[in-house]
Amino acid sequence: MTTVAIIVAVVLVVALGLFLAFARPSGGRGLRRRFGPEYDRAVARHDGDTKAAEHELNELLKRHRSLDERPLSAEARAEYTDRWTRIQGRFVDAPQQAVAEADALLAELAHDLGFPDGDDFGEQSAALSVHHAEQVNGYRRVHAAKRGEGGTEEMREALIEARGLFDVLVSNGVDAPARRQPHPVEGSGKA
């Protein structure tokens, strides 16, 4: 009887340990894994205070975790892709205009997928960080470049990085086309 009680106690302790380690994705390691570079960004924003950063990220999760992205139709995906291609093509002649158009296109696309309205960039980018933490920085960079922060090279790099978020959003869970559109601003030698 004592052996059974010890075995049950050990099983309960192991189960509790596993629950605490894995069932709480809101813990530091779970947040770091989920948010990737966004975790580091939050820690830096809180001057290294990981508890404050983790509290902020947990609040983001509470607000935006349950968001269900709406699927895009094949026609909408094609239209967005065509628009992005035209924006990239305009970059060489009008980089500031191209970056502003990319910012507006990303806001519109995110909104069409069910994210908060792009009129509130902070709220929209926060929701995107919950669902697309690896790519959202490109959107932030394009948004900053639209406001005139940085030169042409920074705008070019921002547009390239934002393409990552665009690709993820426009694919919307559908396998991306085998043939991607070229990146005319990459390696063009002009910027």
DSSP assignment of the chain equals -HHHHHHHHHHHHHHHHHHHHHS-TTSHHHHHHHHTHHHHHHHHHTTT-HHHHHHHHHHHHHHHTT--PPPPPHHHHHHHHHHHHHHHHHTTT-HHHHHHHHHHHHHHHHHHTTPPPTTSHHHHHHHHHHH-TTTHHHHHHHHHHHTT-S-HHHHHHHHHHHHHHHHHHHHTTSPPPSSPPP-TTTT-S--
Taking residues 166-179, report their average pLDDT. Answer: 69
Q: Which pLDDT band holds residue 64 (cuts at 50, 70, 90)? A: low
Bigger pLDDT: 19 or 52? 52
Q: Which pLDDT band holds residue 27 (cuts at 50, 70, 90)? A: low
Taking residues 132-138, report their average pLDDT. Answer: 91
56 token code pair: 């902020």
| Residue 14: alpha-carbon gap to chain centroid | 35
Taking residues 122-137, report their average pLDDT. Answer: 90
At residue 174, the pLDDT reads: 59
Taking residues 20-25, report their average pLDDT. Answer: 48
Percent of the chain with pLDDT over 90: 42
Q: Which pLDDT band holds residue 187 (cuts at 50, 70, 90)? A: very low
Q: For 25, phi and psi rounded to 5 degrees? A: -65, -10
At residue 16, the pLDDT reads: 63
Q: Which pLDDT band holds residue 180 (cuts at 50, 70, 90)? A: very low
Of 56-60, 97-101, 180-184, the poorest mean pLDDT is in 180-184
Taking residues 90-109, report their average pLDDT. Answer: 96
Taking residues 82-106, report their average pLDDT. Answer: 96
67 token code pair: 């968001």
Q: Report whether pLDDT(76) > 80.
A: yes
Q: Report whether pLDDT(189) > 50.
A: no
Q: Report whether pLDDT(29) > 90.
A: no
Taking residues 84-111, report their average pLDDT. Answer: 96
Q: Are the C-beta atoms of residues 116 and 122 closer than 8 Å to each other?
A: no
pTM for the whole structure: 0.70
